[in-house]
Amino acid sequence: MPTPHHVVIAVFPDVDLLDVTGPAEVFALAERESGGRAGYTVRLAGPAAGPVATSAGVRVLADLAFAEVGTEVDTLLVPGAVDPHPDGPVARVDGSVVEWVRATAPHARRIASVCVGAHVLAAAGLLDGRRATTHWSTAARLAADHPEVDVDPDPIFVRSGRVWTGAGISACLDLALALVAEDHGEELALAVARQLVVYLRRQGGQSQFSVPLSRPAAARRDIDELRVFITENLGADLSVPALAERMCLSERHFARVFRQETGTGPAAYVEEARVEAARRLLETTDLPLERVAADTGAGSVETLHRSFRRRLGTTPAAYRRRFRTAS
């Protein structure tokens, strides 16, 4: 008999649809790919049993009410919902959901949040003293509301003991695949990933967004145009003097304007862009490190090593071993 894995996914009004259906599909495929030996059963629990309208307008059916869940919970999965706001989306934190999560968590072997569901876990006190992630757009608010939580807005997912937190909405697949791998090993997780046509099963340490997305749009159009130029010409001379000349500004004035508009210095921005391009090559090609360094403008393997150490805390070779896509 397979070890039972009772997965309970919370649902509530305006919950993000993919947060619910994505993990459910992963667990269902794990059952299919294992010939029924994975032991997963998925139930949706809501404030009351019955239909629940998601943010997409599609209704899902809660199998049971929160009060009926009981103590037989292997994995408690908490998705998120957002409310619109002029300054960007705001995670919804419903008190009744928080109370149910707080009461149910002690009975679960592990707890996981998807996207802004991390705000619910934080409100329930489950992230205190832990490193956690959430959707990049609400990470600053999570950190401000819960200073006792070590919020890292970059990773796709984070595991801290028996508590897992996932990033943006599509990262629910990566998180659920990681849970399957923990339960049954990499082979089954990769089989499920193939069925989902997710060719690369991304690990938690990978970034959820690119360098351009991680920086707000500049008020000055010429700075945004320069950022595009940098991304498209990584092999060019991107030194401060060269960029300042391109902008027809003195080096000091250019550096000051660039930092004001982007929140970082031009040299640091160029390094970030080159490291990101190198990461893509390391993940998807077998090019030697010398070629990766040359194609991304790093110049030498030694410079590439220093940049990876500074930005990612690892080496290019170690990064490739961990994240290389299978051919």
* Rounded average pLDDT over 110-132: 96
**Chain-centre distance for alpha carbon 203:** 10
d(CA 271, CA 291): 17
Strands (E), the chain: 5-10, 40-46, 50-53, 59-62, 64-65, 73-78, 82-83, 90-91, 108-113, 131-132, 150-151, 157-160, 163-166
Q: What's the mean per-residue pLDDT of the chain?
A: 89
Higher model confidence: residue 178 or residue 207? 178
Per-residue pLDDT at 312: 81
CB proximity list for 140: less than 8 A, separation 6 or greater: 153
pLDDT greater than 50 at residue 213: no
| Residues assigned a catalytic role | 115
Per-residue pLDDT at 53: 96
pLDDT greater than 50 at residue 200: no
Q: What is the phi/psi pair of residue 285, to 5°?
A: -135, 170
Instruction: For residue 218, give the 3-state DSSP assignment.
Output: coil
Per-residue pLDDT at 243: 95
pLDDT greater than 70 at residue 206: no
Cβ(43)–Cβ(7) under 8 Å?
yes
Higher model confidence: residue 256 or residue 203? 256
* Rounded average pLDDT over 127-156: 92
d(CA 304, CA 296): 9
Q: In which element (H, E) is residue 160 found?
A: strand 157-160
Please give the angle made by the CA atoms of 303, 308 and 314, to the nearest 5 degrees.
130
Cβ(121)–Cβ(111) under 8 Å?
yes
Per-residue pLDDT at 324: 67
Per-residue pLDDT at 118: 97
Per-residue pLDDT at 34: 95
Q: How confident is the model at residue 216 (pLDDT cuts 50, 70, 90)?
A: low
Is the pTM higher than 0.85? The answer reads no
Cβ(8)–Cβ(43) under 8 Å?
yes
User: What is the per-residue pLDDT across 238-256, written as a single tens digit (0 to 9) for each?
Assistant: 999 999 999 999 999 999 9
Q: How confident is the model at residue 233 (pLDDT cuts 50, 70, 90)?
A: very high
User: What is the per-residue pLDDT across 61-117, written as a single tens digit (0 to 9) for each?
Assistant: 999 999 999 998 999 999 999 998 887 789 999 999 999 999 999 999 999 999 999
User: What is the per-residue pLDDT across 262-294, written as a single tens digit (0 to 9) for each?
Assistant: 888 999 999 999 998 898 888 778 899 999 999
Q: Which is nearest to 192 in space by CA: 34, 2, 3, 48?
A: 34
Per-residue pLDDT at 209: 46
Higher model confidence: residue 127 or residue 228? 127
d(CA 125, CA 21): 26
Higher model confidence: residue 224 or residue 132? 132
User: What is the per-residue pLDDT across 171-186, written as a single tens digit (0 to 9) for each?
Assistant: 889 899 999 999 998 8
Q: What percent of the chain lies above the pLDDT cut of 70?
A: 91
